[in-house]
A and B are shown apart, each in its own frame.
Chain A
Amino acid sequence: MKLFSQLCQQLESVPFTHSKAEILANYLRATAQVDASWALYLLLGGQLARLVDPATLEKWILDETKLPEWLWQECREKTGDLAESVALVAELTRAETPTLFTSGHESDELSLRAWIEERLQPIARQVDSVRHKAVHEWWRTLSLDVAWAVHALALGRFPVHVPKRVVDDALRILGGEPEVLGLTARLDALPLAGAQKPLSLQLDLF
């Protein structure tokens, strides 16, 4: 997840399409296929089934941080993003300054695939208390970059997208690597942009 959240940061920082293709190519080159599959799915607009709705997540974070409602709203306005606001203020509840790279907790080190298939999807339809407990654990254990991405996925509102031509260019840059080229045919078959995906969707491309 760390690699993926860093990828997202870089994609958001750079305005030029060609640079984005290079950045994406570097990520794909360095990443396991199953993680790459999920990454491309999300970047092309796919979303996971929502695990928590915005109002509930807000209630949970306000209970946890004890921030006054008006102050929380100012934070939300400043970031313009609920997942990011939650991840940022969750850090206030940690006595020690949270670390940048890794919290040292094993959750922080999990791959994108493991996060999606083992931590998020299995609890999406569980009762409130199970999901609340999981979210609470994220606040306790995750570094900021990972926390933001996990919250965005949990809300079914992952915001970092690239046009298909960026993916095509990235694959072209990698050109001649059959494992990656195999992705293109399958990607063409994926529905895009905002549709809720069934939990059973498997991106087993190879």
Chain B
Amino acid sequence: MAYRKSALSPLITQTPEGLYCPAGGFYIDPSRSVEIAIVTHAHSDHARRGSRKYFCAASGEGLLRERIGKFANIEAVPFGKKFKVGAVGVSLHSAGHILGSAQVRIEHEGRVWVASGDYKRDEDPTCPPFEIVPCDTFITEATFGLPVYRWPRIPEVALQIESWWRDNAARGMNSVLYCYSLGKAQRLLAELAPRMRPGERILVHDTVEVLNHHYREQGVALAPTECVSSQQKGVAIQGSLILAPPGIQGTPLMNRLGKFETAFASGWMRLRRGRFSRRYDRSFVLSDHADWPSLVRTVRETGAREVYVMHGSNETLARYLREELGLDAQPIDKLGGRQSVAGGDHG
């Protein structure tokens, strides 16, 4: 693809509310209510209530309605299908982050920009893999944008988790695995599904089960689950694995669990410092974001010559892409736009 440096106005600009496409008149993952929002995925820091109209990937519609309201005005679009918003052609493509997570491809007057949203490259039974979308300009996340982050093989992490659970069960203890309710919990349930024995189930917090429903509706195979809250009162919960969001630590629900060990599953656990500050007995390295090698590989594979980096180690990854790969790469705050704090206003 011939590289055209954007002497023209950027197709996507950065505003205090988030990424904005002037020619399309829409925002991507806006932080407050707007006219038109394209939502990459249903995590709460990307999907917010109150906009007049939303677009999202079809497979993520159920999760998005769970987040922003059943009656929100959502147009759900299958991956790859082109549609117009304002003057631009838009399509959504799999990002491989959680169920329904999408990259946003924008085409206007021969230029193609792609905003990645959150993504990862590792295989995940809960959603289709990241799709490489060739483009002129790529806006990438960089949550784990440092060479110290490289993920272990998932089957081994799943084995670690299972061993921890069963060893605890043999000692008469429950195992509480803290993880975010949306995405991480379902991934764990999908990775553990083949390891379940007949009749076994994993206990989950109510918020997790609500989201499990949407995954199962989309045909994702999760381990059998029951809610902790529905366990018979007065009967001890024994030898179980319980998935719950970190927020429930210290709540009455914990009183039902008898003796238990705790663990946390997250990419931050890869570093010793990431483990120090927490009060968990164990930690497992499992992330729904791309690690360093995947970030660099992905940028290369898009063929983009212009790159903007957001949501993490912006300057670090941008500098690496500039100096080592010769790309025109900048942290997102250099992307001009309406009311932007840094950079010029190209608008």
Task: Please list the residues of chain A having a beta carbon within 8 angstroms of any beta carbon in chain B.
Answer: 9-10, 12-15, 19, 65, 67-68, 70-71, 74-75, 78-81, 84-85, 88-89, 91-92, 97-101, 144, 148
Determine if B316 and A101 form an interchain contact, defined as CB atoms under 8 angstroms apart. Answer: no
- Interface membership of B192, Cβ < 8 A: no
Determine if A79 and B279 form an interchain contact, defined as CB atoms under 8 angstroms apart. Answer: no
Closest B residue to A89 by CB, please name it: B147
- Interface membership of B275, Cβ < 8 A: yes
Closest B residue to A19 by CB, please name it: B281
Determine if B272 and A81 form an interchain contact, defined as CB atoms under 8 angstroms apart. Answer: yes
Determine if B320 and A13 form an interchain contact, defined as CB atoms under 8 angstroms apart. Answer: no
**Min distance, Cβ B115 to any Cβ of chain A, angstroms:** 25
Given A99-B156, A101-B156, are A79 and B293 also a contact pair (CB < 8 Å)?
no
- Interface membership of B278, Cβ < 8 A: yes
11 contacts across the A-B interface (CB closer than 8 A) = A13-B282, A13-B283, A67-B147, A68-B320, A68-B323, A74-B146, A92-B150, A99-B156, A100-B156, A100-B160, A148-B272
**Min distance, Cβ A196 to any Cβ of chain B, angstroms:** 24
Interface string of B249-278 (1 = CB under 8 A from A): 000000000000000000000111101101
Complex Cα gap A13–B273 (Å)? 9
**Min distance, Cβ A81 to any Cβ of chain B, angstroms:** 7
Complex Cα gap A101–B181 (Å)? 27
Given A68-B323, A89-B147, are A9 and B275 also a contact pair (CB < 8 Å)?
yes
Interface string of B138-180 (1 = CB under 8 A from A): 0000000011101111001101100000000000000000000
Closest B residue to A91 by CB, please name it: B150
Determine if A12 and B276 form an interchain contact, defined as CB atoms under 8 angstroms apart. Answer: yes
Closest A residue to B315 by CB, please name it: A74
Complex Cα gap A85–B151 (Å)? 15
Contacts of B152 in A (CB 8 A): 97-100, 144
Determine if A97 and B151 form an interchain contact, defined as CB atoms under 8 angstroms apart. Answer: yes
Contacts of B293 in A (CB 8 A): 92
Determine if A14 and B281 form an interchain contact, defined as CB atoms under 8 angstroms apart. Answer: yes
Given A74-B316, A88-B150, A92-B147, are A13 and B156 also a contact pair (CB < 8 Å)?
no
Partner of B281, one of A13, A78, A89: A13
Determine if B324 and A68 form an interchain contact, defined as CB atoms under 8 angstroms apart. Answer: yes
Interface string of B287-308 (1 = CB under 8 A from A): 0000011000000000000000
Contacts of A92 in B (CB 8 A): 147, 150, 292-293
Complex Cα gap A187–B272 (Å)? 28
Q: Range of interface residues on chain B?
A: 20 to 34
Closest B residue to A97 by CB, please name it: B153
**Which residues B303-347 have CB closer than 8 A to chain A?**
316, 319-320, 323-324
Determine if B160 and A71 form an interchain contact, defined as CB atoms under 8 angstroms apart. Answer: no
Complex Cα gap A68–B152 (Å)? 24
Complex Cα gap A150–B153 (Å)? 22
Determine if B316 and A99 form an interchain contact, defined as CB atoms under 8 angstroms apart. Answer: no
Determine if B320 and A71 form an interchain contact, defined as CB atoms under 8 angstroms apart. Answer: yes
- Interface membership of B83, Cβ < 8 A: no
- Interface membership of B280, Cβ < 8 A: yes
**Min distance, Cβ A7 to any Cβ of chain B, angstroms:** 13
Given A74-B316, A100-B153, are A79 and B148 also a contact pair (CB < 8 Å)?
yes
Contacts of A13 in B (CB 8 A): 275-276, 278, 280-283
Determine if A78 and B272 form an interchain contact, defined as CB atoms under 8 angstroms apart. Answer: no
Partner of B147, one of A10, A88, A97: A88
Contacts of A97 in B (CB 8 A): 150-153
Given A13-B282, A68-B324, A74-B316, are A85 and B272 also a contact pair (CB < 8 Å)?
no
Determine if B148 and A85 form an interchain contact, defined as CB atoms under 8 angstroms apart. Answer: yes
Closest A residue to B320 by CB, please name it: A71
Determine if A88 and B148 form an interchain contact, defined as CB atoms under 8 angstroms apart. Answer: yes
**Min distance, Cβ A82 to any Cβ of chain B, angstroms:** 12
Partner of A71, one of B151, B273, B275, B316: B316
Determine if A79 and B316 form an interchain contact, defined as CB atoms under 8 angstroms apart. Answer: no
